[in-house]
Chains A and B, each alone.
Chain A
Amino acid sequence: MLGRTAVTRGSLSVADEVGLYLELYRRMVLIRQFEDLVNALFLQGQVHGTTHLCSGQEAVAVGVTSVLDPADRVAGTYRGHGHALALGLDPQRLLDELLGRETGICAGRAGSMNVVDLEHGLMGCFGIVGGSIAAATGAGLALRGTGNVAVAFFGDGATNQGYFFECLNFAKVMNLPVVYVCENNGYGEYTPFTAVTAGSIIARPLAMEIPSQTLDGNDLWVVRAAARQAVETARRGDGPSFIEALTYRFVGHSRSDPGKYRPEGELDRWRLKDPLAVGRRRLVEEHRVPESEVESIVEDVRTELDRVRQKGLAAPFPKPDASAREFKDG
């Protein structure tokens, strides 16, 4: 069944279920190719500081956001390009931000790790591990009783932070409409999460009697179905839910990380479960979409991002004399 709410999110506008999944697939392709572009521009010295790419994790962001309304609120992580693009942020404005240009979504003030786009429901991307959990919990407090929900994306590493325990408990006892989405990519920076995490992740929210499930985070269809259930629970006023989406990043933690800590063969095994490959297979085999149509999505995104790249590199840098004020006038 086609989610009524799904068709109203951002630029998501489709006529039927196949159209919906084609659009969601396009978003996953956009995120993957965007990350490839960021990587290339970083190596050319055009993207500064550091970047954290989410290649391989696209289905989580796209699947969860596909069931949200425009008035819902989302908190992303410093690995947040996918969260922003999934919500419908114009890739031009995101790339321009990463390039440090005046035309960026935050006019070059934020950079890769701190993107904010309230127009599309993105409260922010948070550079402190677990910060997104806090932000979404607060949004849940504000959204009590409205039928809208808040979503926190965070990694497996964040489940060992104080924010995780305090905020999940806070949301549960206060019955807040929050969906906590753990993108478990297997590693907290360079360290396997199993080496630094006592017990299982899902046992923690379950101990707080928060409805929780662990699922295949590389399958858009699976993520979307679970997210819809969790979001509907929150909209009904039945409190928070927890989703542990098992996924994998195909790249290192950040630009300084070649990922040498991965056991041999692990990346190859996960490549077989690439969310784009899974999505393509489902579209072709289950939804009877011609291969050529799927391929044309890939080509269209490539063409679009080539334009975005050229325009971004030509965009002006902010002027240093643009006066930044400490406080908003009151």
Chain B
Amino acid sequence: MAEIEFRRAIRDALDEELARDESVIFFGEDVAKAGGVFAVTPGLWEKYPDRVLDTPISELALAGAAFGSAVCGKRPVFEIMFGDFLPLTMDSLVNQSAKYWYISNEQASIPLVVRSAIGAGGRFGAIHSQTPISWFLGVPGLKIVCPATPADAKGLLKSAIRDPNPVLFLEHKRLYGLKGEVNGDLTPIGKGAVVREGDDITVVGAMKSVHDALAAAGKLVEHSVEAEVIDLRTLRPMDIDLVLESVAKTSRLVVVEEGPRTGGWAAEVVARVSEAALDQLDDIWRITTADAPIPYSPTLEDAFLPAPDVIVESILAHRRK
């Protein structure tokens, strides 16, 4: 099976869903004729000129257009170029889309997808590098999908477009060039995956942190630690059962989140596992970024992020406790 890049997997998912369903429309800033600033969506406008649209730089209007068109039977996918711009969409996403199914007494749901490039490590500075998950994690009615591999990027995006609910689909910028095999299967939303088996400790991550955790797990073997690595893949709804199964075996859990410590999704995993399985736990903690803005300079930014060595050191330190 041929390997393709993460960005190509996303493009293919959009292409296939646009072909499959006439109600799918895709729009955003520079996504059509230019093919996207991260070169994710080239060639789509040429194939679907009426349904792939360049828009003004108007995030409020984009989110509102997605909501309103979804009420009227479309399946809109719109791109917010950087996740840092998502606050501009929040009224429509949070107050309109996420609540519509409930407050309309289920007259209609809002099958929209908002795609957004997120994450640090690209020297983009404090306002083009954030991971905006904690801003949205506490919003009932909004799914949050976070792929780590090309296969899941494609499989989850196809699932997101077919999902009858609003979905926030996050793409880590450092993964766009990652290559992997893609078989074209749908990946179910709300299901995590064990991506490395081990008996000594469970390491939970999402997006780029999954790869950092896998790299750390490789190094931990030298220290006689076999880590089990879980890719949560979706953060709302969250596959906590998969984590609990693993913890029942390892009794130790560390959650790695590229995002600020306070109120993050790692805190939510730790809380849920503690509530459900306190008696099975020998240790539980988080590795996150600091509660501080993301710095620009390479030396500062590299030191800010939970790299594999940071994960290894943290796990070894906890073992020495």
Interface string of B43-81 (1 = CB under 8 A from A): 000000000010110111101111111111110100000
CA distance A128 to B72 in the complex (A): 20
Binds B, one of A104-112, A186-194, A196-204, A249-257: A104-112
In the bound complex, how far is the Cα of B102 from the Cα of A324, in angstroms? 7
* Beta-carbon nearest neighbor of A168 in chain B: B61
Asked if B103 and A328 make an inter-chain contact with CB atoms under 8 angstroms apart, the answer reads no
**Interface size of B as a range:** 35 or more
Tell me, in angstroms, the Cα distance from A166 to B163 when the chains sit together. Answer: 28
Given A123-B71, A134-B92, A326-B141, residue A163 in contact with residue B103 (CB < 8 A)? no
Q: Does A284 contact B (CB under 8 A)?
A: no
A276 within 8 A of B: no
Say yes or no: B104 contacts A106, CB within 8 Å.
yes
Point out the residues of chain A lying under 8 angstroms from B176, CB to CB: none
| Complex contacts, B104 vs chain A, CB 8 Å | 106, 109-110, 116, 118, 124
Q: Bound state CA distance, A51 and B128, in angstroms?
A: 41
Complex CA gap A184/B107 in Å reads: 31
Quick one: closest B residue to A318, CB to CB? B105
Inter-subunit contact B72/A116 (CB<8 Å)? no
Tell me how far the C-beta of B91 lies from the nearest C-beta in chain A, rounded to whole angstroms.
6
Chain B residues with CB under 8 Å of A116's CB are 100, 103-105, 107-108
Partner of A142, one of B73, B105, B165: B73
Evaluate whether A163 and B64 lie within 8 angstroms (CB atoms) in the complex, with A110-B105, A114-B103, A118-B108 already known. yes
Contact A327 B72 (CB under 8 A): no
Residue B237, interface by CB 8 Å: yes
In contact, A109 and B102 (Cβ under 8 angstroms) = yes
Is B101 part of the contact surface with A, judged by Cβ < 8 Å?
yes
Q: Does A243 contact B (CB under 8 A)?
A: no
Q: Is the CB of A139 within 8 A of B72?
A: yes
- Whether the pair A166, B56 counts as a contact (CB closer than 8 A) is yes
Mask of B160-204 contacts with A, CB within 8 angstroms, 1/0: 001111000000000000000000000001000000000000000
* Cross-chain contact A173 with B67 (CB below 8 angstroms): no
User: Does B96 make an interface contact (CB < 8 A)?
Assistant: yes
Total A residues in contact with B, Cβ cutoff 8 Å: 44
Q: Would you call B91 and A131 a contact (CB within 8 A)?
A: yes
Interface centre among B58, B95, B141 (most CB of A within 10 A): B58
The residues of B that contact A107 with a CB separation of less than 8 Å are 105
In the complex, the answer to whether A73 meets B53 with C-beta atoms within 8 Å is no
Bound-complex Cα distance A41 to B187 (A): 52
**Which residues of A lie under 8 Å from residue B162 when comparing CB positions?**
330
Residues of chain B within 8 A (CB-CB) of A150 are: 68, 72
> Any chain B CB within 8 A of the CB of A141?
yes
Question: Would you list which residues of chain A between 174 and 190 have a CB under 8 Å from chain B?
Answer: 174
Contact (Cβ within 8 A) B96 A135: yes
Mark each residue of chain A from 196 to 219: 1 if its CB lies under 8 Å from any CB of chain B, else 0.
Answer: 000000000000000000000000
Closest 9 CB pairs of A and B: A138-B68, A134-B64, A142-B72, A116-B104, A166-B58, A166-B61, A142-B69, A170-B61, A328-B109
Supply 19 further A-B pairs (C-beta < 8 A) apart from A123-B71, A330-B165: A106-B104, A116-B107, A118-B104, A134-B61, A134-B91, A138-B64, A139-B72, A141-B25, A141-B65, A162-B88, A163-B64, A166-B59, A170-B61, A170-B65, A173-B56, A324-B102, A326-B141, A328-B109, A330-B163
Q: Which A positions have Cβ atoms within 8 angstroms of B?
A: 73, 75, 105-107, 109-110, 114, 116-119, 123-124, 126-128, 131, 133-143, 150, 162-163, 166-167, 169-170, 173-174, 324, 326-330
